[in-house]
Amino acid sequence: MEELAEFADIVKYNEPLARYTHLRLGGPADALIHPRSREELAAVVRRCFEKHLPLRVLGCGCNLLVRDEGVRGVVLRLSQSAFTEITVEGRRVRAGSGAALSAVISQAARHALAGLETLVGIQGTVGGSLRCNVGDRSGEIGQFVRRVEVMDGGGVVQVRERDELQFGYHASNLDDPVLLSAEFELEQDAADAIVKRMRKAWILRKASQPLTFQAAGRIFQNPRGLSAAALIEQAGLAKTRVGGAEVSERDANFFVVHAGATSRDVLRLIDLVRSRVLERFNVELELEITVW
């Protein structure tokens, strides 16, 4: 791709994305780019917008299914240290969008700062977690966010303050091309009380989700007032398998991916589950996982 010639040091062409996603599935990206600084990132973003190249950001790929055909255009990964720094000042924790959510939770706990600990066990980067407002009944990441830095299509950094931010069920209004960093405001608490809550949240999450499987992903949003897992289970679909993709027995809203599975298997299983749940309960399940 001529348009990216000046970024030769940081581009991998035709790079298989499966290894960068939790489900370990999917084809290659035309170009996978790992910028080393904000300046480099801004130059890539500007070039993509100028040349009308599709641009996507990949976090840990925990909420992502990449099609077997792969992805056209540019995929960015913010895994270099310029994008993963975590700093703590008083009750404020600032984290780069490429930092692992788990690292932010540990850092906060180490500074006796409470709030994020109930999210322990949720995998992903800060960027992906903000985009999807991760959480559960005990809390969501969005409630602790004070400010988010984003980059627009011109490569310009902008700051979104709390009063401009909206977080809903597995959604946010953070639809800028690139999320750069977030500042969380937490509450001071006794470190041992935080660790205790963390352990409890971890045990609860571990008990309900098929975390023992290397490759298992949450697939559907819970319809208003209902549980996607319960609907799928009541439709008799637990353990239903298409190719190498199987509805988890432990939590039917997770699909387990066995060796040899393809993205097509997962997509076919999604279609099957959706149509059976619609037939049985007249409920249309919406995808939680993003499909590229």
Binding site for ligand FAD (CB under 6 A): 22, 56-64, 78, 97, 122-125, 127-129, 131-132, 134-136, 178-179, 209, 211, 216-218, 290
Least CB distance to ligand FAD at residue 290 (A): 4
Nearer Cβ to ligand FAD (215/273): 215
Among 180, 201, 184, 167, which residue's Cα sits nearest to residue 108? Answer: 184
Residue 139: CB minimum distance to ligand FAD, A: 10
The vertex-181 CA angle with 17 and 20, nearest 5°, equals: 10
- 171/236 with CB nearer ligand FAD: 171
Phi, psi of 197 (to 5 degrees): -65, -35
Query: Is the Cβ of residue 122 or residue 273 nearer to ligand FAD in the bound state?
Result: 122
Q: How far is the CB of 231 from ligand FAD (least distance, A)?
A: 18
Three-state secondary structure string covering 141-162: HHHHEEEEEEECCCCCEEEEEH
CA-wise closest residue to 234 among 210, 216, 252: 252
User: What sign does the CA torsion over 281, 283, 288, 292 have?
Assistant: positive
Q: Decide whether 125 or 273 has the Cβ nearer to ligand FAD.
A: 125
CB of 279 to ligand FAD, least distance (A): 27
CA separation for the pair 256, 192 (Å, rounded)? 35
Query: Could you tell me the smallest distance in angstroms from the CB atom of residue 170 to ligand FAD?
Result: 6
Q: Which of 58/104 has CB closer to ligand FAD? A: 58
Q: Which is nearer to ligand FAD, 11 or 142 (CB)?
A: 142
* Cα-Cα-Cα-Cα dihedral sign, residues 198, 203, 206, 208: negative
What contacts 91, CB < 8 A, 6 or more positions away? 113, 185, 186, 187, 188
Comparing CB distances to ligand FAD, the nearer of 58 and 273 is 58
Rounded to a whole number of angstroms, the minimum distance from the CB of residue 42 to ligand FAD is: 14
Q: How far is the CB of 32 from ligand FAD (least distance, A)?
A: 13
Q: Could you tell me whether strands 92-96 and 86-89 are parallel, antiparallel, or unpaired per DSSP bridges?
A: antiparallel
Among candidates 183, 179, 167, which has minimal Cα distance to 134? 167
